[in-house]
Amino acid sequence: MTPHDVADPLNPLLVGETGVSGRIIGIRDNLLYVGSEAGVYVYEIGVRP
């Protein structure tokens, strides 16, 4: 088991419909930043991918 597999109740692991998994690293304006092993993804809050 690797450290990023451990559940963190304050920052849960997110698995999106696109198959990207990561943790929330920031929210600014209406943008949600999700960090994963592949990089940082930015999603508009309220907009489906």
Q: How far apart are CA 37 and CA 48, in angstroms?
A: 22
Whether residue 27 is predicted with pLDDT greater than 80 in this model: the reply is yes
Q: What dihedral angle (degrees, nearest 10) is formed by the CA atoms of 8, 44, 21, 10? A: 0
* pLDDT tens column, 35-49: 888 888 888 887 665
Q: What is the DSSP string of 11-35?
A: SPEEE-TTS-EEEEEEEETTEEEEE
The overall average pLDDT reported for the chain is 72
- Position 46 scores a pLDDT of 77
Q: Where are the domains of the chain?
A: 3-44
Q: How far apart are CA 24 and CA 33, in angstroms?
A: 6
